[in-house]
Amino acid sequence: MGDVAAKLKVMPQSPEIDLDELEERLATALPEGAEIRGFQRDDVAFGLVALLPTVVVPDDAGGTEAVEEAFSEVEGVESIAVESVGRL
């Protein structure tokens, strides 16, 4: 089995959320076997900026599910969506 790279869209709860701190909290919340290969930022509207982490996970039955669940429990996260997935 190989690895899968997924780009996720993480929406913060408000424009006042410190995105640098949110990136750190997301990185520490990762399940075992997953790693973040970088963050991008996307201006959404009215000062709200989404984080777009690229996450690498093992190619197994769960896919990005464990990462999505872990990220959804992080303080300051409103929602998570998978933008794209591809094999490495």
Q: Which domain CATH number covers 44? A: 3.30.70.60
Please compute, for residue 82, the number of CA atoms within 13 A of its CA located in the half-sphere on the CB side. Answer: 15
**Structural domains counted in the chain:** 1
Q: pLDDT tens digit string along 23-81?
A: 999 999 999 989 999 999 999 988 899 999 999 998 876 789 999 999 999 999 999 99
- Predicted local distance difference test score (pLDDT) of residue 60: 78
Check residue 68 and give left, alpha or beta (phi > 0: left; psi -120 to 50: alpha). Answer: alpha
Instruction: Give residue 66's domain range.
Output: 3-87
